[in-house]
Amino acid sequence: MPYWRKCKDFAVKIIIWLFSLAALAFLFWILSDLIIKGLPNITFDYITSEYNEYKGINGIAPMIVTTLWIISVTLIISGVTGVFAAVYLAEYSRPGPIVSVIRFALESLTGIPSIIYGLFGYIFFKSILKLGFSILSASLTLAVMVLPFVIRSTENALRSVNRLYRDGSFALGATKLYTVMNITLPCAAPRIITVMLLTVGRIAGETAAVYFTAGTVYRYPEGIMSSGRTLSVHIYMLAKETGNYDETYAAALVLVIFISLIHFIVNTASRVINAERI
Amino acid sequence: MRRGGQDRLLIKTRNRKWEKVIEILFLLSALISVFSLTAITVYLFAKGFPAIWEIGIMNFIFGMEWNPTADNPSYGIFPMIYASAAGTVGAVFLSVPVGLSAAVLLAAVAPPSLANFLRPCVDLMSGIPSVVYGYFGLTVIVPLISEYLGGPGNSLLAVIVLLSVMILPTIIKISENSLRTVPVEIIQGSYALGAAKMETVLKVMIPAAGSGILSSIVLGIGRAIGETMAVILVCGNAAQIPRSVLDMVRPMTANIALEMSYADPFHESVLFGTGVVLFMFIAAVNIVINVLSGNAAKFKDKPPHYLL
């Protein structure tokens, strides 16, 4: 190979490495900034006490509780309907107009930004169904938002189950429903659980849709119908309305640690799942 | 005990009616997505369009003045459409070279062990909530811009920088996937003809993965237009046409989220109208993606040499 071609090849390689390193550096810049400015301010008191600007208490416990409420309710709603829908698409559906319409809807919903979901939840769940600013409104809105992701990933999980198991079950005389409940779903369960975990991460990080449907009240929620402020909305409110960097950085770090933990678990789990298959 | 329960289910499920009922339940769950999409479209337009009509479509979209709380209010959102478009275009220009390089690195250049370490980093990058990106932008990037480049710091440039980082994972992941699906025959063919590694990447792999890379960019555009919480914290919120990248801007999403809390009913409908315009942009993006993936499906049946 002529010398100049080797040089050109090397130059392109260098550019690729440099650009990639730049992206990686930005990630570590954000993470280290969060850790340096946030970690000293995360104390036991901060995590377990209430928030009240007038009394000068600035904990995040109510926000954590609200976030957990919204995560659980959303997960129940989107988990059940999502898995059912995925079972339909993976096991029952035949190519035809109904399936193409469903797939078109799923693809379109994926592209819609969260603020549009927020507007929809604000007018439909909050105003028309009269659920008000509440955990239920927010959870229903978020459930619609994460549904395409849940359905698509669960469908992939179901399709990755070895065909032989299913055929064996049919050969033994089991019906379709029996096979789905006892063979396909249990075999796909580990993957479906990782899908749910990733969904938890998405719900925890969502701000715009929750801001329009759950409100910004910083009390402990009393139930599914009371309004509340999630951790991510809390970060936004602090950033917008107060100048208190320490508090905000601490809240942001708590949220990022929670999400990184989920990603870490999912990564480890999928490595184990993939290793088992081979 | 458990066995007995399963046997009962087996007997029960032999009942044809029961099977059918459950199948319909599954179908209804799948149809929820269709209902949701319809409901979102209908309610958004029902709430937003009358306001647009009253203001006048031209006055609304091309109006330069945004002053909803004045005695003689004006509702023109052109500066915001401009800001959304400028932020998105800028972000794509910054993000595509970096994202494509990272995708090539992961798919073809880096040793597998390094790639296995880097992939979770990309996932984490897409997992960081947008409000955290926004806060980082507000406290770190905005002061840097104001110190070294001048201006208020809250600016179109800050928006572009943040958006480009936020769409990076989308571009990297989808481009890497489509680079990986390039048939190994044409890569080996390229080596057999004496091409070097990077020549193969640039002249064979990237063109062959072209439609996948294009759809990753279009998806990134969709994310950038719709991004709210990061943008709202760094854009400065002035509804004006920026003269330079250092001027303050207000994209459409920021407009909706900022004023919703204190809007009277008509003002609220106007904000939904802004949502309608945003929705149109997203619909256009979706159509482009559908066309691109249609093209990709066409390639699949062609023999590999068609790609060269």
Give the model confidence (pLDDT) of A121-173 as tens digits.
999 998 888 888 999 999 999 999 999 999 999 999 999 888 888 889 888 88
Average pLDDT over residues B150-155: 85
Test the B interface: residue of A14, A16, A77, A181 with most B CBs within 10 Å: A16
Alpha-carbon gap, residue B130 to A141, rounded angstroms: 18
**Per DSSP, what are the bridge partners of residue B236?**
B249
Chain A contacts of B278, Cβ < 8 Å?
A: 113, 115-116
Q: Are B181 and B135 in contact (CB under 8 A)?
A: no
**Of residues A105, A111, A256, nearest to B33 (C-beta):** A105
Of B18, B23, B44, the CB nearest to A116: B44
3-state secondary structure of A58: strand
Q: CB distance from B206 to chain A under 8 Å?
A: no
Question: What is the crossing angle of helices B210-226 and B156-180, to 10°?
Answer: 150
A256 and B33 within 8 Å at the Cβ level: the answer is: no
Query: What is the pLDDT, as a whole number, of residue A93?
Result: 87
B11 contacts chain A (CB < 8 A): no
CA torsion, points B138, B140, B143, B144, in degrees to nearest 10?
-140
Share of chain A above pLDDT 90, in %: 53
Q: A87 is written with which tokens?
A: 């079972």
- From residue A256, alpha-carbon distances to A209, A264, B232, B261 in Å are 19, 12, 20, 27
Would you call B18 and A177 a contact, using CB atoms and an 8 Å cutoff? yes
Kind plus residue range of the DSSP H or E element containing A236: helix A231-241
**Cα A118 to Cα A72, A111, A121, B157, distances in angstroms:** 19, 14, 5, 27
Q: Please provide the DSSP assignment of chain B as one string.
A: -HHHHHHHHHHHHTSHHHHHHHHHHHHHHHHHHHHHHHHHHHHHHHHHHHHHHHH-HHHHHH---EETTSSS-EE--HHHHHHHHHHHHHHHHHHHHHHHHHHHIIIIIS-HHHHHHHHHHHHHHHHS-HHHHHHHIIIIIHHHHHHHT-S-S-SHHHHHHHHHHHHHHHHHHHHHHHHHTS-HHHHHHHHHTT--HHHHIIIIIHHHTHHHHHHHHHHHHHHHHH--HHHHHHSB---S--SSTTS-B--HHHHHHHHGGG--HHHHHHHHHHHHHHHHHHHHHHHHHHHHHHHHHHHHTS-GGGT-
Of residues B9, B22, B127, nearest to A205 (C-beta): B127
Interchain proximity B102–A151, CB inside 8 Å: no
Average pLDDT over residues B106-125: 90
Sign of the CA dihedral A151, A156, A160, A163? positive
Search chain B and give the residue with CA nearest A123: B43
Average pLDDT, chain B: 86
Which residues in chain A are contacts of B109 at CB distance < 8 A? 13, 16-17
Q: With CB atoms and an 8 Å threshold, state whether A207 touches B130.
A: yes
Q: Scan residues 74-133 of B and list those with Cβ closer than 8 Å to A.
A: 97-99, 101-102, 104-105, 109, 118, 120-121, 123-125, 127-133
Residue B46 and residue B65: Cα distance in Å, rounded? Answer: 24
Give the separation between CA B95 and CA B100, rounded to whole angstroms.
8
Q: Which site among B135, B165, B267, B280 would you substitute to test the A interface, given the most A Cβ atoms closer than 10 Å to its Cβ? A: B135
- For residue A133, the 8-state DSSP code is S
Burial class (CB in 10 A: 0-12, 13-18, 19+), B208: buried
The closest alpha carbon to B170, from B222, B134, B220, B96, belongs to: B220
B146/A84 Cα distance (integer angstroms) = 52
Q: What is the pLDDT of residues A63-100, one digit of tens each?
A: 999 999 999 999 999 999 999 999 999 989 888 899 99
ipTM of the complex: 0.91
Residue of A nearest to B218 (CA): A111
Q: What pLDDT shows up at residue B303?
A: 39
> In angstroms, rounded to a whole number, what is the distance separating the alpha carbons of residues A106 and A100?
10
B residues 42-81 lying closer than 8 A (beta carbon) to A: 43-44, 47
Q: Is B297 on the interface with A (CB under 8 A)?
A: no
Report chain B residues whose CB lies below 8 A from the CB of A6: 196
Q: Which of A183-187, B208-212, B274-278 has the lowest mean pLDDT?
A: B208-212
DSSP H/E element including A18: helix A3-38
Q: How many helices (H) and strands (E) does chain A have?
A: 12, 2
Q: Are B6 and A75 in contact (CB under 8 A)?
A: no
CB-closest option in B105, B140, B229 to A17: B105
Average pLDDT over residues A176-184: 88
Task: Name which of A29, A108, A248 is nearest B135 (Cβ-Cβ).
Answer: A248
Chain B contact set for A230 (CB, 8 A): none
Confidence band of B296 (pLDDT split at 50, 70, 90): low
pLDDT band at B237; cut points 50, 70, 90: confident
Which of A36, A71, A123 to mutate: most B Cβ within 10 Å? Answer: A123
* Contact flag A255-B120 (C-beta cutoff 8 Å): no
Condensed to tens digits (0 to 9), the pLDDT of residues B68-105 reads 888 888 888 999 999 999 999 999 999 999 999 999 99
Exposed e or buried b per residue across B24-40, where buried means at least 16 C-beta atoms within 10 angstroms of its C-beta: eebbebbbbbbebbeeb
> Residue A218: what are its φ and ψ, rounded to 5°?
-100, 35
Residues A205, B136: C-beta atoms closer than 8 Å: no
- Verify whether the Cβ–Cβ distance A13 to B98 is below 8 Å: no
Residues 230-249 of B with CB under 8 A from A: 233
For B77-306, which CATH class? mainly alpha
What is residue B1's predicted lDDT score, i.e. its pLDDT? 43
**Reduced DSSP (H G I as helix, E B as strand, rest coil) percent helix, strand, coil of chain A, to 5:** 80, 0, 20
Q: How far apart are CA A262 and CA A144, in angstroms?
A: 22
Would you say residue A107 has pLDDT above 90? no
